[in-house]
Structure 1
Amino acid sequence: MTAPTLTRSVLTAGVWEGVIEGDPSGEPTVEVCLGDRVLPGLKVVKTAPGTWSLSLPIPADCISDGVRTFVIRDLTDRLPIGHFNLIAGASADEDLRAEIALLRA
């Protein structure tokens, strides 16, 4: 099976949406994590052969001051296929926490 590839990622009204492409013969198994926590509520919908739409409402307790890095992982090999950052609160112009969190994921 071809590893899924994240081709689109947006955050609108508290809901993250992404599009992944991969092997058309089976549904990809993916999860979205914040640190060690797997976030509940991820929906995966096939939109075309080899293409799936993902959506995940971001839980309110995941939103607070600072930088939060959410990692989208392929469960087949547990490797990241993408990520997105949520920055809130004080200016983070020089903040490297998002990059460090991604390296640790």
Structure 2
Amino acid sequence: MSEMILTKTRLFEGVWEGVLTRREEGEFSPDIEVTHQQEPVEGVEVVEKPEEKLWVVRVPVPLEKIADGVQTFVIRDRQSGEVLESFALLAGDVLSYDIRAEMALLREELDLLKRAFRRHCLDTM
């Protein structure tokens, strides 16, 4: 079990933000790395808030990483290699197919329910 806990707070204006806390007290300096397809993401900020005993982690989403499909970003502790959190961006034509397929299934289920309900109403009259 990790001694660090990273909790997402928001994704706003192209920046993923989270709060990093530690289970144990004492001197500590987090060493965080963020990767996308095993490549490091630049511009990651880890800002300490000693009065609150936490760190604010800010991960800018590079524009060149935004593309069709699912883009996954992994946040790790560099020293242990343990994954603390991850987030994914979903976009493009790949999703529209999934949504259209789901809508078609929902329509089919609704039609089935309508037929069964009409049959039920006719049988009870």
Name the TM tier (shorter chain): 0.7 to 0.9
Residue 16 of structure 2: aligned partner: 16
Q: Which amino acid aligns with 1:37?
A: E
Cα deviation 1:48-79 (Å, max 9, x = unaligned): 35410011211111100000110000011111
59-68 or 84-93: bigger deviation: 84-93
**Which structure dedicates a bigger proportion of its chain to strand?**
1
Q: Runs of 4 or more off by more than 3 Å in structure 1? A: none
Identity %: 34
* Unpaired runs of at least 5, structure 2: 102-125
**Which structure dedicates a bigger proportion of its chain to helix?**
2
Q: Aligned pairs, how many?
A: 93
Structure with greater Cα Rg: 2
Cα deviation 1:22-43 (Å, max 9, x = unaligned): 1552121111110110101011
* Unpaired runs of at least 5, structure 1: 95-105
Cα deviation 1:58-102 (Å, max 9, x = unaligned): 1111100000110000011111111001011121558xxxxxxxx
Q: Which amino acid aligns with 1:33?
A: T
Match of 2:82 among 55, 79, 88: 79
* Backbone CA RMSD of aligned residues: 1.9
Q: TM-score, normalised by structure 2?
A: 0.66
Three-state SS of the structure 1 residue aligned to 2:58 is: strand
Three-state SS of the structure 2 residue aligned to 1:85 is: strand
Structure number with greater CO (CA < 8 Å, separation at least 6) is 1
Q: Tell me if structure 2 keeps the 8 A contact 1:25–1:50.
A: no
